[in-house]
Amino acid sequence: EDSTSRSTKKKVVAVVGGGLVGALNACFLAKRGFDVEVFETREDIRKAQIVRGRSINLALSHRGRQALRHVGMEEKIVSQGIPMHARMIHSLSGKQSPIPYGKKGQYILSVDRANLNKQLLSEADTYPNTKLNFDHKLHDWSAETGMMTFVRPDGSKVQLKADLIVGCDGAFSATRKQFLRRSRFNYSQTYIPHGYMELTMPPVNGEFAMKPNYLHIWPRNTFMMIALPNLDKTFTCTLFMPFEDFEKIATGDEVIEFFQKYFPDAIPLIGEEALRRDYFRLPAQAMVSVKCSPYHIHDKCVLMGDAAHAVVPFYGQGMNAGFEDCIVFDEVLDRFSEDLGAVLPEYSRVRVPDDHAIADLAMYNYIEMRAHVNSKWFLFRKHVDNVLHFLMPKTIIPLYTMVTFTRTRYHEAVQRWHWQNKVVNRGLLLSATGAAVGGSYLLLKNPPDVNKLLLSVEKIWTRLVTK
């Protein structure tokens, strides 16, 4: 270790936001030996009575788990999650059909947001070089000096200077405001027409009301409902629907009428009385997609998590991407020996294309989840991809698998997906023609040897694929 890197270790790093990404990032940065100060608007949620958050539970997958592993938290969090091996599609008639997420043994986990956040804060708290400052709301900061101003609940102001400011303050980031004033900063935000509303499905005789190890989906084309299991044997149902449809429903009777028409099997499980009441408890919440670049200002400030890339929740990757941000930043810190003047631009360079790719994919899945899963062609193509993946695990990898069960860079997963689609569609066309012409002839001449057949299929594919 040279002296410059040793001297940078004493640097003060301010993490703005003690949400999921901020709390995890504090652990990453503390582990490196920085002096870490976390500033969070809210009170300490570990002591608070009611925690108001966004969704009640979330799907944790490979990228998020890898990040947790870096700070020794994977086992603990996974043991408190509920594995979901497949989607369970509920048809209008109440029929349930599973669509696996990947191969046998591959699953995503339903985890409790509040509990995860609390555990991460407690973990950050175990580092002697970390200080958690609750009830500190970032008001403003200076890109020139690194001086930050915080507002306390009593209206008083506190100022503090840091060598590096890491903005993890979510989709409506106050840290990001400084970026918007600068030249050559790209920024876009889009609200989708849908809102979401959460409803609880209680246990039945102390047991889960539906099969627990699934992510339940009621796809209804222009809208949908999903349900994720919780440790207390409840399900959290989330209804995604255009705001104008939410607003059309004004009375308890209209709620029941609507559910009778579209989610009849869910009425007895949520309970008619609860449904009438809970639908009006909170208004539907908005969903925003935020894209920007670059993610840094000089060697002073960097944005991560939703502050850099809020995505719509339809790929279950928002938190996972934010957690992966922490790994990527950590890797770049290593590569450039913590020289922040080199680290920050490099972080923007490598991470922007990936976070933009997952934002686009999430937007794409917004349609896929509620509409495409109802289409025969879509299900057929999913099946073909899965079979091909089974036959040629290194050549054809379903997009969902790359995104959810690997750390393939998001933008590479997208490129590969486009290429695979071209190849598979071409292959399907060829096979259809070929099968019609040659298949019948061959079958008549000599009975098929399955192994040989598979080998020649593989050969043809490999040829198609390498073209």
Among 317, 365, 401, 408, binds ligand FAD (CB under 6 A): 317
Interface with ligand FAD (CB under 6 A), residue total: 32
Nearer residue to ligand FAD within complex by CB, 18 or 398:
18
Helix (H) or strand (E) holding 166: strand 164-167
Among 119, 320, 401, 404, binds ligand FAD (CB under 6 A): 320
CA dihedral 21, 24, 29, 33 (to 10 degrees): 160
Work out which of 212, 219, 229, 316 binds ligand FAD, going by CB under 6 A. 316
Residue with nearest beta carbon to ligand FAD: 19
- Of 123-131, 155-163, 318-326, 387-395, the window that binds ligand FAD (rule: CB under 6 A) is 318-326
Distance, in Å, from the CA atom of 171 to the CA atom of 289, rounded to the nearest integer, reads 8
Nearer to ligand FAD, 22 or 398 (CB): 22
Between 200 and 431, name the residue whose CB sits nearer to ligand FAD.
200
Check binding of 212 to ligand FAD (CB under 6 A): no
Map 123-158 to HEC letters.
Answer: HHHCCCCEEEECCCEEEEECCCCCEEEEECCCCCEE
Separation in Å, CA 305 to CA 13, 88, 163, 164, 223: 17, 29, 20, 16, 27
Cβ-proximal residues to 429 (8 Å cutoff; 6+ apart), any chain: none
Shortest spacing between CB 20 and ligand FAD, in angstroms = 4
Between 154 and 193, how does the x/- string for binding to ligand FAD read (CB under 6 A)? --------------xxx---x-------------------
Q: Are strands 96-100 and 86-90 parallel, antiparallel or unpaired?
A: antiparallel
Site string for ligand FAD, 33-72 (x = CB under 6 A): ------xxxx-----------xx--xx-------------
CB of 467 to ligand FAD, least distance (A): 37
Reduce the DSSP state of residue 420 to 3 states and report it.
helix
**Adjacent-strand bridge partners of 463:** none
- Upper half-sphere CA count for residue 210 (Cβ side, 13 Å): 31
CB-nearer residue toward ligand FAD: 405 or 461: 405
Query: Residues 450, 456, 457, 461: what is their CA dihedral angle, to the nearest 10 degrees?
Result: 160
Find the shortest distance in angstroms from Cβ 377 to ligand FAD.
27
Binding of ligand FAD by 15 (CB under 6 A): no
Which residue in the block uniquely carries the two structure tokens 């994977």? 74
Distance CA 192, CA 223 (A): 12
> By three-state DSSP, how is residue 167 classified?
strand
User: Judging by DSSP bridges, how do beta strands 164-167 and 301-303 pair with one another?
Assistant: parallel
Ranges within 334-373 binding ligand FAD (CB under 6 A) = none
- For tokens 């923007």, the residue is 348
Q: Which of 15, 18, 217, 427 binds ligand FAD (CB under 6 A)?
A: 18
Residue with token string 């400084």? 178
- Candidates 8, 14, 15, 19; binder of ligand FAD (CB under 6 A) is 19
* Minimum gap (Å) between residue 39 Cβ and ligand FAD: 5
Any contact of residue 112 with ligand FAD (CB under 6 A)?
no
Binding-site member from 195, 229, 305, 345 for ligand FAD (CB under 6 A): 305
| Residue 289 in the binding site for ligand FAD (CB under 6 A) | no
Q: Is 21 in the site for ligand FAD (CB under 6 A)?
A: yes
| Contact residues for ligand FAD, defined by CB under 6 A | 16-22, 39-42, 54-55, 58-59, 137-138, 168-170, 174, 196, 305-307, 313, 316-320, 322
